[in-house]
């Protein structure tokens, strides 16, 4: 990567007029210690995520998921926003980013201060009953699982992108799951598993945001699955400029007006500094241009 100022120059020129909709993926959270599925994190590339069909159809697989997720949740719950999340929140608060759509389930955009984030795939810190639909806090479930499994522990090397960890089957075998307190139904994290459909209303909200956008800014997503890539396709169909900042290639590169391959933790804070400096100059009666790199 060249000088950060040079790298962000074409991005800053497109974003300076505001109306930017952010679409973020797992690559934005890697600097918070959460690996991605397909990026530069080796652990993520080896991990096979749980599918919805396996979760609801296989009691042993469900036990294995909850045992692994029970330990993984402790690590996820300690994750904090990184410089990239905070930069997006600054751009949002400064009025340049109008809306944020994230494919992540970690809640870190909201924790960083972004408002009304559309969490396309749900949140890991919430739990839903597949029987009655009641939603409860993951903290509450964590307490119930701790009481049902006193002393449960295992050696954890790293947390996976969907919040679970790798454990030996012998460790998993004695784990006790719990059911919904309201109806006795099956509990599931309130996230969209692979093979599951994103709620239609949420998808419509995302498409509406993209259609309002002056620029679509993709951050840390390989755009491998259609769930996120469809918004890039819609922006391209409408002639809306697409900017992609991601380490490694993406399936949206052919639609990008500007493509940056660089760490988001370096690029986004520099971009926020540059653009918010421009905004301050405009509000003081200055000329709305991007300052020269230097």
283 in a labelled binding site: no
Is 7 marked within a binding site?
no
- The C-alpha angle 68, 66, 135, rounded to 5 degrees, equals 135
**Mean pLDDT, the chain, integer:** 88
Residue-wise pLDDT for 61-104, tens only, equals 999 999 989 988 887 888 999 999 999 999 999 999 999 999 99
Instruction: Of 210, 33, 187, give the one whose Cα is nearest residue 106.
Output: 33
Q: How confident is the model over 147-173, as pLDDT tens digits?
A: 999 988 766 555 666 666 677 777 788
Residue 121 annotated as catalytic: yes
Model pLDDT for residues 117-150, shown as the tens digit of each residue: 999 999 999 999 999 999 999 999 999 999 999 9
Q: Specify the pLDDT at position 157.
A: 54
Q: Indicate the CATH number of 4-283 among 1.20.1440.230, 3.40.50.1820, 3.40.50.1220, 3.40.50.10800.
A: 3.40.50.1220
Q: Using pLDDT thresholds of 50, 70 and 90, give the confidence band for residue 286.
A: very low
Catalytic position from the list 85, 92, 109, 121: 121
Where are the chain's structural domains?
Answer: 4-283
pTM: 0.87
Distance (Å, whole) CA 97 – CA 264: 16
Vertex 25: Cα angle to 21 and 28 (nearest 5)? 95
Per the listing, tokens 């400096």 go with: 277
The answer to whether 104 is a known ligand-binding residue is yes
Residue 142 among known ligand-binding residues: no
């Amino acid at each position: 990567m060249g000088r950060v100022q040079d790298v962000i120059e074409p991005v800053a020129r497109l974003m300076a007029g505001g109306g930017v909709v952010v679409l973020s993926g797992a690559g934005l959270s890697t600097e918070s210690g959460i690996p991605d599925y397909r990026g530069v994190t080796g652990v993520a590339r080896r991990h096979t995520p749980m599918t919805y069909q396996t979760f609801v159809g296989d009691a042993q697989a469900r036990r294995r998921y909850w045992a692994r997720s029970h330990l993984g949740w402790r690590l996820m719950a300690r994750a904090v926003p990184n410089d990239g999340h905070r930069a997006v929140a600054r751009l949002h608060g400064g009025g340049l980013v109008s809306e944020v759509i994230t494919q992540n389930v970690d809640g870190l955009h909201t924790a960083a201060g972004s408002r009304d984030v559309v969490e396309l795939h749900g949140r890991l810190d919430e739990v839903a009953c597949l029987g009655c639909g009641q939603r409860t806090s993951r903290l509450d479930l964590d307490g119930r699982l701790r009481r049902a499994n006193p002393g449960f522990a295992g050696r954890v090397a790293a947390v996976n992108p969907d919040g679970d960890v790798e454990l030996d089957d012998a460790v998993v075998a004695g784990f006790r799951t719990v059911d919904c307190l309201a109806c006795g139904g099956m509990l599931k994290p309130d996230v969209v598993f692979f093979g599951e459909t994103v709620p239609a209303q949420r998808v419509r909200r995302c498409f509406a945001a993209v259609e309002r956008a002056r620029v679509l800014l993709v951050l840390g997503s390989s755009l491998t699955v259609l769930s996120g890539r469809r918004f890039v396709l819609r922006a391209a169909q409408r002639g809306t400029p697409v900017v992609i900042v991601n380490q490694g290639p993406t399936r949206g590169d052919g639609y990008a007006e500007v493509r940056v391959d660089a760490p988001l933790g370096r690029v986004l804070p520099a971009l926020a500094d540059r653009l918010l400096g421009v905004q301050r100059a405009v509000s003081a009666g200055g000329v709305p241009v991007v300052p020269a790199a230097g």
